[in-house]
């Protein structure tokens, strides 16, 4: 199966034609990299930190609806 990505959403044309499993593995790898980077307390404001914040915003947007919001940490 080949991943179909409507529009390119910032992906290079070659990424659109990668097999879905390979694309999923790359997405997971990139997400893990960004999470590790953000947790490493590197210099704030670097390009990887900016990518982390963009990805986090998109992945958590579903929780912006108060009904769907997860409980705050520690509750």
Q: Which is nearer to Zn ion, 16 or 49 (CB)?
A: 49
CA distances from 68 to 9, 54, 58, 62 (A): 26, 20, 15, 7
Q: Could you say which residues in the range 29-58 bind Zn ion, by CB under 5 A?
A: 42, 46, 48-49
2 three-class SS: strand
Q: CB of 48: closest distance to Zn ion in angstroms? A: 4
Counting residues that bind Zn ion (by CB under 5 A) gives 4
- Closest distance of CB 59 from Zn ion, Å: 18
CB of 52 to Zn ion, least distance (A): 7
Measured CA to CA in angstroms, residue 10 lies from 6, 7, 16, 25 at distances of: 11, 8, 10, 18
Interacting residues with Zn ion (CB under 5 A): 42, 46, 48-49
């Amino acid at each position: 199966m080949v991943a179909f990505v409507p529009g390119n959403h910032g992906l290079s044309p070659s990424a659109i034609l990668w097999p879905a499993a390979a694309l999923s593995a790359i997405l997971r790898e990139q997400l893990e990299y960004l999470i590790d980077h953000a947790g490493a307390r590197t210099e704030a404001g670097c390009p990887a930190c900016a990518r982390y914040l963009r990805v986090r915003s998109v992945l958590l947007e579903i929780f912006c609806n108060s009904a769907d919001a997860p409980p705050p940490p520690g509750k």
